[in-house]
């Protein structure tokens, strides 16, 4: 490659997103299947021996996960540059915390919201994370996003030497979809992602070339208000009033979340919503009076993830339970997943 053909890493890049759905049963041979990892999506920009981690919302989160930036550590992504003569690298993947050998989003929560370098280093010892790379987008000055997924995956396997803190998880043939999905259920994983073998990487696009199949109903929702707690929750949040955006950009009420919180989580969320108070409801539609009357309304800036039983005819989630705060997600991108 001549110097004229060399491309610097982009200053920013929006990750490609998966749409809900399942690949056509008669064309499974045209797809590959990956496990869906319950963590924080991050692009890893590596050059000059330095790592820059960028979240899905474009936030620099490098300092939050110092062990991934160490050139010498077992999980250090920076160490991949310089190995085998490589000079530059751009990866797409997921930052994951493991508990009992399985990804655990709850275990990752204390790591996600840390800005102090000292606190981040301390937590890195207590709750180490791994970077699971599932795509390579640029290598040594050569952009790869126009290549088909199958070729990018072949290149990725030559880059990532699996170790305690960095992995290139396997992908499986499309016809094995049912077996892979059953394995994901057995291992307590969130689901699987099907990817077309011939698909290029489409930055910022929620593409039909990537389809996600979840094992349980999970939904990202926007916090728009809260109901004050009673009893042992006095002075804290009793439940969250949450919504999703319509295709037209309206924030629609989707239910109230009152379970799944630890005492520590309730204190954390109470601190976060306090400065976001507003005098009126941010919802563009009605909220049942039993929740709207006592509600404390807030600016819709926080995103949380919940599990639930089903959607009702009224567009509400039945029995939602809190799973975690998603500060890696932009509220305006939160829509109902079918």
Half-sphere exposure of 43 (CA within 13 A, CB side): 24
Say if residues 301 and 234 touch (Cβ distance below 8 Å).
no
Pairwise CA distance, residues 290 & 9, whole Å: 53
9 CA to centre of own chain: 23
Say if residues 69 and 76 touch (Cβ distance below 8 Å).
yes
Both tokens assigned to 179:
């077996």
Say if residues 72 and 3 touch (Cβ distance below 8 Å).
no
Pairwise CA distance, residues 159 & 162, whole Å: 9
Pairwise CA distance, residues 239 & 228, whole Å: 7
36 is catalytic: yes
Alpha helices in the chain (DSSP H): 66-69, 105-112, 117-126, 149-159, 177-186, 263-273, 289-292
Both tokens assigned to 75:
């999980």
Q: Indicate the pairing of strand 166-167 with strand 142-143.
A: unpaired
Instruction: Spot the catalytic one: 36, 195, 212, 227.
Output: 36
How deeply is 110 buried, as exposed, middle or buried, from its count of CB atoms within 10 A (0-12, 13-18, 19+)? middle
Strand-pairing partners, residue 42, are 55, 93
Pairwise CA distance, residues 193 & 177, whole Å: 10
Q: At what angle do helices 117-126 and 105-112 cross, to 10 degrees?
A: 160
Both tokens assigned to 315:
């567009």
Say if residues 98 and 130 touch (Cβ distance below 8 Å).
yes
Both tokens assigned to 230:
């009673």
Which positions are annotated as active-site residues? 36
């Amino acid at each position: 490659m001549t110097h004229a053909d060399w491309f610097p890493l982009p200053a920013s890049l929006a990750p490609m997103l998966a749409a809900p759905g399942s690949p056509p049963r008669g064309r499974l041979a045209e797809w590959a299947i990956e496990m869906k990892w319950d963590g924080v999506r991050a692009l890893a920009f590596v050059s000059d021996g330095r790592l820059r981690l960028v979240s899905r919302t474009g936030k620099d989160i490098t300092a939050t996960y110092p062990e991934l930036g160490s050139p010498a550590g077992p999980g250090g992504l920076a160490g991949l540059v310089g190995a085998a003569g490589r000079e530059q690298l751009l990866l797409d993947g997921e930052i994951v915390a493991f508990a009992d050998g399985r990804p655990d989003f709850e275990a990752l929560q204390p790591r996600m919201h840390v800005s102090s370098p000292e606190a981040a280093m301390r937590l890195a010892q207590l709750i180490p994370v791994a970077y699971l790379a599932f795509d390579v987008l640029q290598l040594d000055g050569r952009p790869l996003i126009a290549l088909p997924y199958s070729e990018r995956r072949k290149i990725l396997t030559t880059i990532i030497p699996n170790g305690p803190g960095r992995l290139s998880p396997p992908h499986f043939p499309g016809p094995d979809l049912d077996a892979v999905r059953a394995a994901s259920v057995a291992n307590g994983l969130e689901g699987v992602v099907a990817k077309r073998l011939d698909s290029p990487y489409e930055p910022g696009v929620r593409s039909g070339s990537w389809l996600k199949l979840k094992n349980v109903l999970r939904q990202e929702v926007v916090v728009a208000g809260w109901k004050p707690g009673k009893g042992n929750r006095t002075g804290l949040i009793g439940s969250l009033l949450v919504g999703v955006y319509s295709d037209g950009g309206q924030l629609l009420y989707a239910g109230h979340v009152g379970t799944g919180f630890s005492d520590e989580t309730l204190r954390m969320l109470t601190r976060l919503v306090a400065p976001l108070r507003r005098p009126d409801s941010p919802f563009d539609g009605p909220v049942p009076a039993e929740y709207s009357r006592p509600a404390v309304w807030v600016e819709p800036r926080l995103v949380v993830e919940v599990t639930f039983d089903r959607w009702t005819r009224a567009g509400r989630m039945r029995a939602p339970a809190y799973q975690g705060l998603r500060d890696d997600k932009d509220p305006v991108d939160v829509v109902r997943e079918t």
